Amino acid sequence: MWGIIRQKVGTGGISAPSMQRIRPAVSAWRSYSSSGKEMTVRDALNSALDEEMSADPKVYVMGEEVGEYQGAYKITKGLLDKYGPERVVDTPITEAGFAGIGVGSAYYGLRPVIEFMTFNFSMQAIDHIINSAAKSNYMSAGQINVPIVFRGPNGAAAGVGAQHSQCYAAWYASCPGLKVLAPYSSEDARGLLKAAIRDPDPVVFLENELLYGESFPVSAEVLDSSFCLPIGKAKIERAGKDVTITAFSKMVGYALKVINLRSIRPLDRATINASVRKTNRLVTVEEGFAQHGVGAEICTSVIEDSFGYLDAPVERISGADVPTPYAANLERMAFPQVEDIVRAAQRACFRSVPMAAAA
């Protein structure tokens, strides 16, 4: 497949080597580590929680199976033994109830980390995330802030069906008063979770189940217990000069030259626009549904700020506009794959295929 791309490159005025490098990126990162140490995303999250709970006794974890079961996805492994059942609270199956309890305790001075087994279940608690967490600082004119973190796996896993596979980034990112973060690598996971827990505002922390087991190299700085990443700043994984590709969470692994958004709300419009002004072309990639999605917001932002710099219409890659099917081959078609990103980048660069027909 890579051979085919190389042939097509020929005349377009784009450097051939740059197109060669579009391939699943996860394994490629290994060659770029400097400290030689690697960490899975799961360990990164676990160590971040451990360190934050150790540093501040007001931080506690609440959710289903976070305690004795060691976490539904083992993210909270070992925390119960270390901190006891008052700080690692197993709840009954009551998302609305315990999300609300978390918010109420945050109103009154604690710093909860509420785990949803997946963000699909957060819909049962979404009233509390939006109405009593996100809006409270505004409604009370700053008297009551809510230093809470809602975290859990978001988006599709493998073969879990329609009710367990939706991506909620766009839903939460459309609400003022929330900060929405979507880490990709272990460094992202550690830094952003620590920043989220220390942040005085409600944060929705969207992880991805398939990334939990992935290993990434981490530098010594990342392993330090005071490592934090800024909220609202995207990371340019590798700069390119032909097309800007933006992605978050699992999709970052599908494109090497990509802007890893890290933060969906606030969106780092400055970085995205600066990149587009250099490359003049944009492809946005996300797992969620196209309509009203993150990609739609990025496209509009770029049109508003950098319209004159665009040489081609913006390309939006998103999940198929259907509830996620179960059959493995259909599921594969329902989410963006590497080939889709390649095709979109090609269209942005060459306009070889008219856009409308491709649906």
Partner 1 sequence: MSSAFSAINTVQRPPHASVSQENPSVSPLRSSLPFLGSNHKLRPNSLHKNGASIRRQSSIVAVSDVVKEKKTKSSSSLPNLLITKQEGLVLYEDMILGRAFEDMCAQMYYRGKMFGFVHLYNGQEAVSTGFIKQLKKEDCVVSTYRDHVHALSKGVPARAVMSELFGKTTGCCRGQGGSMHMFSGEHNVLGGFAFIGEGIPVATGAAFTSKYKREVLKEADCDHVTMAFFGDGTANNGQFFECLNMAALWKLPIIFVVENNMWAIGMSHLRATSDPQIYKKGPAFGMPGVHVDGMDVLKVREVAQEAVARARRGDGPTLVECETYRFRGHSLADPDELRDPAEKAHYATRDPITALKKYMIENNLVEEAELKAIEKKIDEVVEEAVEFAEASPVPVRSQLLENVFADPKGFGIAPDGRYRCEDPKFTEGTAHV
- Interacting residue ranges for partner 1, rule: CB under 8 A: 47, 50-52, 54-58, 60, 86-87, 91-92, 94, 96-110, 127-128, 131-132, 136-145, 147, 176-177, 179, 191, 194-195, 198-201, 225-233, 266
Provide, rounded to whole angstroms, the least separation between the CB of residue 243 and partner 1: 27
Judged by beta carbon, residue 136 or residue 260, the one nearer partner 1 is: 136
Q: Comparing C-alpha atoms, which of 263, 249, 215, 182 is closest to residue 44?
A: 215
Provide, rounded to whole angstroms, the least separation between the CB of residue 317 and partner 1: 27
**Residues carrying an active site annotation:** 95, 164
Judged by beta carbon, residue 233 or residue 332, the one nearer partner 1 is: 233
Judged by beta carbon, residue 229 or residue 348, the one nearer partner 1 is: 229
Provide, rounded to whole angstroms, the least separation between the CB of residue 74 and partner 1: 18
User: HEC profile for 167-211?
Assistant: CCHHHHHCCCCCEEECCCCHHHHHHHHHHHHHCCCCEEEEECHHH
Provide, rounded to whole angstroms, the least separation between the CB of residue 32 and partner 1: 23
Burial letters 298-310, b for 16+ CB under 10 A, else e: bbeebeebbeeeb
Query: In a 3-state reduction of DSSP, which class is residue 306?
Result: helix
Q: Which residues contact 290 (CB under 8 A, 6 or more apart)?
A: 296, 316, 318, 319, 321
Q: What is the dihedral of CA 147, 151, 155, 157, to 10 degrees?
A: 180
Matching residue, tokens 């996300």: 286
Judged by beta carbon, residue 80 or residue 255, the one nearer partner 1 is: 80
